[in-house]
A = this chain, B = another copy of it.
């Protein structure tokens, strides 16, 4: 870094103080102001090259730009100039032109030829989004694969199902995690879809006609797209922001799924539950006043993201209402908001990966918690078993009565059942052992798990083939 060129070094720094907490180093880098300026530079270089290929401008400009790097731009000056210009591109192009002029004054006259600020900013943003999603995809793959292993290991680890935060019939940890894997693999499809459909070139000129390029517009766009490896859309989209909205929303939905996992993890980590814990590490999650604490730091990071991202997605949807051929305010509202969504998604996903890859699992605590109600949570199981003898209504009545007796008298369900007159005639005490065993009341859990794992494997094979 050429720190001389950075002025006071306060502007344009790539990280904010909360970046390490709420995001990842790689994501922070990709979303930094430096990367953004670098992307604008890539655009201008490729634009010049495309124009030169099509003989719209003389050779030389692309080469002159290629000699420059982000360090040739004083981000503090750039930032300050944006106040008068209304965006970063206008002062950037001025600075770029001046830099090119230092080596080739004629070439300087052809910098940014035919393009408008929004072409540069939107395309630079798209390059940033693509790099960010690539990072997300890597974390998604690692998370999903680790999850698949964990599911296989805990396919038969029985724990209490919980509805409305109340214990219900049993599930397995494998099943619980399989619903997550199932959702995450859907999210991978969504991210892949974004990569294929939502990330495109922007090149339209002042009002989306490419008029400044005369008849050459589409051909130049074609070359530019090839050079930047970005698909060229049918028509410029300066004020049609559905792709931006789709990127934001897709990440928003992903963060919602992660938030659910963060919430569950933190609930399972409660002192009174202690069934499934974030990985511990020296110093992590300690409390300044409570030395014994083990705070769910990763869950907090995920939950902070899932609290923040919905409002940010809403903002980008609101911002879609952009006027005529170039919006006023709406476009400006996108810039930092989209960065924040990507940044927080990256952090939440990394935290999820940490949990999944290092989770500490306590089957004994699961057993213990399940025993808390003395089998009352098996009421449904009993109800269905009893129903085969006494009909659904009567079975439900008995299960309910026994449950209440068990809760009221603090006895276990087996004993409570034995006190029900209607039961005694059909069942012996020992019959209840099997009936009250959670392992016997897991329904199709394994079948569901197998389907999810099979889908996951098929997906992996397919991706593997596709990327070979």
Contact = CB atoms under 8 A, between A and B. Distances in A.
A93 B288 contact: yes
Interface string A321-364: 11111101110110111001000000000000000000000000
A404 B280 CA distance: 13
24 contacts: A9-B9, A16-B16, A17-B78, A85-B284, A85-B285, A106-B391, A109-B391, A161-B325, A164-B326, A164-B328, A166-B269, A187-B242, A205-B443, A209-B442, A217-B443, A240-B260, A241-B257, A242-B257, A271-B369, A291-B400, A296-B328, A303-B328, A308-B315, A310-B315
Interface stretch (A64-72, A139-147, A175-183, A426-434): A175-183
A236 interface: yes
A305 to B, nearest CB: 8
A148 interface: no
Contacts of A336: 16, 18, 22, 308, 340
A297 B84 contact: yes
Q: How large is the interface on A (under 10, 10 to 19, 20 to 34, 35 or more residues)?
A: 35 or more
A215 B392 CA distance: 18
Nearest to A164: B295
Interface string A281-311: 1011111111111111101111110111111
A187 B14 CA distance: 35
Nearest to A87: B21
Contacts of A314: 310-311, 313-314
Given A78-B17, A240-B183, A321-B303, A89 B288 contact: yes
A20 B163 contact: no
Interface string A91-115: 0010000000000001011101111
Given A168-B207, A218-B448, A271-B369, 4 more contacts: A116-B288, A256-B317, A259-B320, A304-B330
Given A163-B207, A318-B307, A407 B292 contact: yes
Contact of A323 (B112, B267, B441, B448): B267
A26 interface: no
A60 interface: no
A253 B259 contact: no
Given A161-B324, A209-B444, A209-B445, A292 B79 contact: no
Contacts of A260: 239-241, 320-323
B287 A163 contact: yes
Interface string A157-199: 0001111111111110001101110110011001000000100
Contact of A245 (B9, B16, B253, B262): B253
A424 interface: no
B292 A377 contact: yes
